[in-house]
Amino acid sequence: MKLVTYAATLAVALTGVVSSANAVGCLSGAVAGGVVGHMAHHHALAGAAVGCVAGHEMKVHEKRKKAAEARAAAMAAHHAPAH
Protein backbone atom coordinates (compact mmCIF):
# COMPACT_ATOMS: atom_id res chain seq x y z
CA MET A 1 0.00 0.00 0.00
CA LYS A 2 2.95 2.30 0.62
CA LEU A 3 3.97 1.94 -3.03
CA VAL A 4 0.58 3.18 -4.17
CA THR A 5 0.86 6.21 -1.89
CA TYR A 6 4.40 7.01 -3.02
CA ALA A 7 3.57 6.53 -6.69
CA ALA A 8 0.49 8.73 -6.48
CA THR A 9 2.42 11.45 -4.64
CA LEU A 10 5.22 11.33 -7.19
CA ALA A 11 2.79 11.47 -10.11
CA VAL A 12 0.99 14.49 -8.69
CA ALA A 13 4.28 16.26 -8.00
CA LEU A 14 5.70 15.56 -11.45
CA THR A 15 2.49 16.47 -13.26
CA GLY A 16 2.86 20.02 -11.96
CA VAL A 17 6.41 20.19 -13.29
CA VAL A 18 5.82 18.57 -16.67
CA SER A 19 3.35 20.17 -19.05
CA SER A 20 3.62 17.86 -22.05
CA ALA A 21 0.69 15.56 -22.79
CA ASN A 22 3.11 12.79 -23.69
CA ALA A 23 4.82 13.04 -20.32
CA VAL A 24 1.46 13.00 -18.55
CA GLY A 25 0.59 9.81 -20.44
CA CYS A 26 3.90 8.32 -19.38
CA LEU A 27 3.42 9.33 -15.75
CA SER A 28 -0.11 8.00 -15.45
CA GLY A 29 0.88 4.78 -17.21
CA ALA A 30 3.95 4.41 -15.02
CA VAL A 31 1.91 4.77 -11.86
CA ALA A 32 -0.63 2.19 -13.01
CA GLY A 33 2.08 -0.14 -14.32
CA GLY A 34 4.11 0.22 -11.13
CA VAL A 35 1.15 -0.77 -8.99
CA VAL A 36 0.29 -3.73 -11.21
CA GLY A 37 3.93 -4.79 -11.37
CA HIS A 38 4.22 -4.59 -7.60
CA MET A 39 1.17 -6.81 -7.22
CA ALA A 40 2.63 -9.26 -9.75
CA HIS A 41 5.53 -10.58 -7.71
CA HIS A 42 7.24 -7.27 -6.90
CA HIS A 43 8.16 -6.12 -10.41
CA ALA A 44 7.21 -2.48 -9.84
CA LEU A 45 10.04 -0.98 -11.92
CA ALA A 46 9.38 -3.20 -14.92
CA GLY A 47 5.66 -2.47 -14.63
CA ALA A 48 6.34 1.25 -14.43
CA ALA A 49 8.54 1.13 -17.54
CA VAL A 50 5.96 -0.78 -19.55
CA GLY A 51 3.19 1.44 -18.20
CA CYS A 52 5.08 4.55 -19.28
CA VAL A 53 5.42 3.27 -22.83
CA ALA A 54 1.77 2.20 -22.95
CA GLY A 55 0.56 5.50 -21.49
CA HIS A 56 2.64 7.47 -23.99
CA GLU A 57 1.31 5.44 -26.91
CA MET A 58 -2.29 5.87 -25.72
CA LYS A 59 -1.85 9.67 -25.52
CA VAL A 60 -0.28 9.78 -29.00
CA HIS A 61 -3.14 7.69 -30.39
CA GLU A 62 -5.70 9.94 -28.70
CA LYS A 63 -3.99 13.08 -30.03
CA ARG A 64 -3.90 11.72 -33.60
CA LYS A 65 -7.55 10.67 -33.41
CA LYS A 66 -8.62 14.14 -32.26
CA ALA A 67 -6.57 15.75 -35.04
CA ALA A 68 -8.15 13.47 -37.66
CA GLU A 69 -11.64 14.26 -36.37
CA ALA A 70 -10.88 17.99 -36.50
CA ARG A 71 -9.60 17.66 -40.10
CA ALA A 72 -12.71 15.70 -41.08
CA ALA A 73 -14.97 18.33 -39.53
CA ALA A 74 -13.10 21.12 -41.30
CA MET A 75 -13.34 19.31 -44.64
CA ALA A 76 -17.04 18.67 -44.14
CA ALA A 77 -17.65 22.34 -43.34
CA HIS A 78 -15.55 23.45 -46.31
CA HIS A 79 -17.35 21.15 -48.76
CA ALA A 80 -20.86 21.68 -47.42
CA PRO A 81 -23.30 22.84 -50.11
CA ALA A 82 -24.18 26.52 -49.91
CA HIS A 83 -27.89 27.31 -49.79
Give residue 20's pLDDT: 59
Is residue 10 one of the residues assigned to a domain?
Answer: yes
Would the pLDDT of 80 be above 90? no
Is residue 69 one of the residues assigned to a domain?
Answer: no
What percent of the chain has a predicted confidence (pLDDT) above 90?
28
**What confidence category does residue 64 fall into, taking pLDDT thresholds of 50, 70 and 90?**
very high
Is residue 48 one of the residues assigned to a domain?
Answer: yes
- Return d(Cα 10, Cα 35) in angstroms, integer: 13
Q: Which range marks the domain in which residue 21 is found?
A: 2-58
Is residue 51 one of the residues assigned to a domain?
Answer: yes
Domain count, the chain: 1
**What confidence category does residue 27 fall into, taking pLDDT thresholds of 50, 70 and 90?**
confident
Contact, 70 vs 59, CB < 8 A? no
Contact, 3 vs 44, CB < 8 A? yes
pTM of the model: 0.60
Is residue 11 one of the residues assigned to a domain?
Answer: yes
Is residue 82 one of the residues assigned to a domain?
Answer: no
Per the model's pLDDT, the better-predicted residue between 2 and 74 turns out to be: 74
